[in-house]
Amino acid sequence: MGLLILRRLVATIPVLLLVTAGVFALIHLTPGDPIDAMMAESVDDTVKRQLRHDLGLDRPLYLQYATWMSRLLHGDLGRSIRNQEPVIENVGRRIGPSLQLAGLAMGIALVVATPIGILSAARRNSALDRAGTTFALFGICMPNFLLALILIFVFGVSLRWLPISGYVDPLEEPLDGLRSLTLPAITLGLALAAVITRTLRSSMLEALSEDYVRTARAKGLSDAAVVRRHALRNALIPVVTVIGLQLGTLIGGAVITEYVFALPGVGRLVVDAVFARDYPLVQGVVLLIAVGFILSNLVVDLLYGVIDPRIRQTRHR
């Protein structure tokens, strides 16, 4: 297990290098000047040139990249151009809401998708299966922003059950915090539930057609026991893969949802930084999101061996 983790971590080094180089190049090729975004047009050009020199933006790109990588190796993600605060502090203030939103959305998705996916596969071509398939198709096709507006109108404006914007930390005010995250979590969770439902149903159908399932039924096991003890565990690997990939997306990719519900998350932070041409902040946030994806995939790889011991034995050979 330790050797597997070490191999995975070593394999992430070229990935992170490609991510840092790509983000650095793309953000610097974007039209616009961060100095103009920070200062009014009436400010003297001499002041702008001095500020550009102080921030190192007048140096060649390869030198700026080398300087940033040197600081990165020492654990320094740089300072924001807008407020001169360390990037890690900017992200630290925003990562909490994003993690809470991602965790709640994932919980909603699993609670909804697991029974629907299993029952749809166990009762193939039934009315329940058609209803589950329709739900999955609806969740995949429905844009997040449209679903968010519908939820706001129904539960926030018409029924007045839940707040339509703002954020309260659940660690400080559990009830109010949960209420502030409910609508955005449902918005993200239903879309994710649709993906998990389709994946689980497909994987369960494949598992239920295997010989070991027919053997289990021939031994007199009930359908519930066959599904729970035999088919479900073997059908989990594709589902775990999807969950691992989607978890990274939830943390850094909920930009529209965070904007609609006015949540101070990482997705909203990186968009604001792009508009302000805040190079160090964009680079730092994207790098941390990439690390989150890599860690989630590492956890998925480890779970493979827990779910199916044959995978673990194959890796040790």
Average pLDDT over residues 4-27: 77
Residues with Cβ < 8 Å from 162, sequence gap 6 or more? 155, 156, 179, 182, 183
pLDDT band at 271 (very low <50, low <70, confident <90, very high): confident
What pLDDT does residue 13 have?
79
- Nearest 10 degrees: Cα torsion 244, 240, 182, 291: -10
Residues with Cβ < 8 Å from 140, sequence gap 6 or more? 191, 194, 195, 198
What pLDDT does residue 38 have?
62
Average pLDDT over residues 111-132: 88
Distance CA 113, CA 194 (A): 7
Q: What is the largest CA-CA distance in the chain?
A: 86
Q: What is the pLDDT of residues 229-266, one digit of tens each?
A: 777 877 888 888 888 878 777 776 677 888 888 888 88
What pLDDT does residue 272 have?
81
Distance CA 128, CA 134 (A): 10
Nearest to 19 by CA among 60, 68, 53, 54: 68
The share of the chain scoring above pLDDT 70, in percent, equals 88
Distance CA 298, CA 185 (A): 25
What pLDDT does residue 305 have?
67
Give the three-class secondary structure for 86. Answer: strand
Number of C-alpha atoms within 13 angstroms, CB side, residue 137?
Answer: 6
pLDDT at 143 over 80: yes
Which class would CATH give 95-255?
A: mainly alpha
Distance CA 248, CA 271 (A): 17
Average pLDDT over residues 222-234: 78
Distance CA 64, CA 228 (A): 56
Cβ contact 188:101 at 8 Å: yes
Give me 32's structure tokens: 């616009």
Average pLDDT over residues 204-221: 81
What is the average pLDDT score of the chain? 80
What pLDDT does residue 42 have?
57
What pLDDT does residue 309 have?
60
Cβ contact 132:116 at 8 Å: yes
Find the DSSP H helices in the chain.
2-29, 34-38, 45-54, 61-73, 87-122, 127-141, 144-151, 174-208, 211-218, 223-226, 232-253, 255-260, 266-275, 279-307, 309-316
Residue ranges covered by each domain of the chain = 95-255
Instruction: Please give the single-letter amino acid code of residue 26.
Output: L
pLDDT band at 31 (very low <50, low <70, confident <90, very high): low
